[in-house]
Amino acid sequence: MPNILLVGNGAREHALAEAISRSEQKPRLFSFMKTNNPGIASLSEKIKLGSYADLEAITGFAVENKIEFVVIGPEDPLNNGVVDALAKIGVPSVGPTKSLARLETSKSFTRNLVSKYHIPGNPQFKVFNTIDGVEAFLDQLEGIVIKPDGLTGGKGVLVQDDHFTTKEEALQLCLQILKESSSLIVEEKFDGEEFSLQCLCDGKTVIATPLVQDHKRRFEGDKGPNTGGMGSYSLPDHSMPFLKPQDLEDGLEITRQVAAALLKETGSPYKGVMYGGFIATKNGVKLLEYNARFGDPEAMNILPLLKTDFVEICRHIVAGTLDKLKIEFEPKATVCKYVVPKDYGLPADHSDAASSRAKIEVGDVGKARLYYSSVDKKEDGLYLSSSRAIGIVGIANTLEEARKIAEEGVKAVKGPVAYRTDIGTDALIQKRIDHMRKIRKE
């Protein structure tokens, strides 16, 4: 019976806790969380609450409980060097070291790496430490994207026509960012359809998991502010309806080359998840960014589909033997809908402060699966926080069935909450297909 430590407290980690608990190895799960996630707690033998910056508390908890390996969910502990601290006391992790996690934590590191090793997928880009040259580069671009060079919780990227309109505004935003951040990246904007390719990597072997499409915008029809992700879907063929088979191959090949480049550049194998945010464009697949972890909500789409024992997968990642393991997923469709406080993602002047701390009731979600995210379990019940509250996932043979299961499940959450009704609908998916056809001039 292996003792496994999970670090993280969101719905992604609830799905990881479930995948670990399902293992035939009968693992004992120990969880280190920032806040008490009732779903993870219910699956854990023991929990410890603390900060992801408190490396001593995490390593101490690992030693105390004779942990075989640690699974790191979110990016913050990776950025804080938790994997390095655990390695020092001889405990391996599924998650990259601080240096390798720059794949996510430093956008300039990744753009420069891809460029240095002549890997396809980069946009035209330049990294700036001062405002010198920014204006001239902005003049060269048709469409502009501005990224602060650090962790932004998925919300710091500024895109022309979404967050600003003119080059003058772009310049002002760059000046503002450089006051707070030591560097920024200016990139060419792509037109296309985005998809998430989450790959498992042991440093040498890179294995694709089913493709997922996330929905970042807060409201139906992809309107409103960007969020951490309002929900996502995946299909039984593990691809996306707007992609050509070559697109998946291209995304995977880019990721394989990046894993090899990371090994060459740092001398250390990347062990964990390489989650590529890709976009299919008229000129093929392009790389938007990498994350050094599973996606949230995307983890909830793929982990429940695993036919292969997740603990076995983790052991092979740690041992560097992923090439010896056949990893299989159920050929099913999934739809994940995030239930959020009504005012989630809205600017402070549009927010109803009462809704983000209100009590909620969770009834029977039927055939759906429920993953807790930011909820606060008090003695008298469950309360919302200001962030995404509960992920509800439908799994079925068809997308329509999966969507209906998720839709029914969502209705079981009562309180001042909201969700996107359009995720997984034929109409929204057709819109994506039509968009790609138009771009490809088909």
CB closer to ligand GLY, 205 vs 291: 291
Q: Is residue 10 near ligand GLY by the rule CB under 6 A?
A: no
DSSP result, 138-162: HHH-SSEEEEESS--TT---EEBTT
Q: Are 73 and 300 in contact (CB under 8 A)?
A: no
Smallest separation (angstroms) from ligand GLY to the CB of 228: 6
Smallest separation (angstroms) from ligand GLY to the CB of 396: 22
Radius of gyration of the chain (CA): 21
**Site residues for ligand GLY, window 21-60 (CB under 6 A)?**
none
CB closer to ligand GLY, 85 vs 157: 157
CB closer to ligand GLY, 190 vs 294: 294
CB closer to ligand GLY, 229 vs 409: 229
Which backbone phi and psi does 147 adopt, to 5 degrees?
-130, 125
Smallest separation (angstroms) from ligand GLY to the CB of 295: 4
Pick the binder of ligand GLY from 296, 309, 407, 422 (CB under 6 A): 296
**Site residues for ligand GLY, window 202-221 (CB under 6 A)?**
214
Smallest separation (angstroms) from ligand GLY to the CB of 57: 25
Q: Are 253 and 265 in contact (CB under 8 A)?
A: no
CB closer to ligand GLY, 87 vs 151: 151
Burial (CB count <10 Å: 0-12, 13-18, 19+), residue 254: buried
Pick the binder of ligand GLY from 298, 343, 407, 422 (CB under 6 A): 298
**Site residues for ligand GLY, window 107-166 (CB under 6 A)?**
154
Beta strands in 157-271 (DSSP E): 158-159, 184-188, 193-201, 206-208, 213-214, 217-219, 223-226, 231-234
Question: Per-residue x/- mask for ligand GLY, residues 273 to 292, rule CB under 6 A?
Answer: ------------------x-
Burial (CB count <10 Å: 0-12, 13-18, 19+), residue 342: middle
What is the Cα 167 distance to its own chain's centre? 30
Comparing CA positions, the residue from 78, 97, 85, 93 lying closest to residue 262 is 97
**Site residues for ligand GLY, window 218-257 (CB under 6 A)?**
229
Q: Are 187 and 143 in contact (CB under 8 A)?
A: no
Q: Strand pairing partners for 276?
A: 197, 290
Structure tokens at 159: 């895109």
**Site residues for ligand GLY, window 302-331 (CB under 6 A)?**
none
Give the Cα separation of 5 and 11 in Å (integer).
16
Q: Return the residue nearest ligand GLY (CB atom).
A: 295
Give the Cα separation of 184 and 175 in Å (integer).
10
Smallest separation (angstroms) from ligand GLY to the CB of 212: 8
The site for ligand GLY, by CB under 6 A, has a size of 7
Say which amino acid occupies 7: V
The length of the chain in residues reads 442
Smallest separation (angstroms) from ligand GLY to the CB of 298: 6
CB closer to ligand GLY, 213 vs 355: 213
Stretch that binds ligand GLY, among 19-27, 110-118, 295-303, 326-334 (CB under 6 A): 295-303
Structure tokens at 351: 């927010």
The residues of the shown chain that bind ligand GLY, judged by CB under 6 A, are 154, 214, 229, 291, 295-296, 298
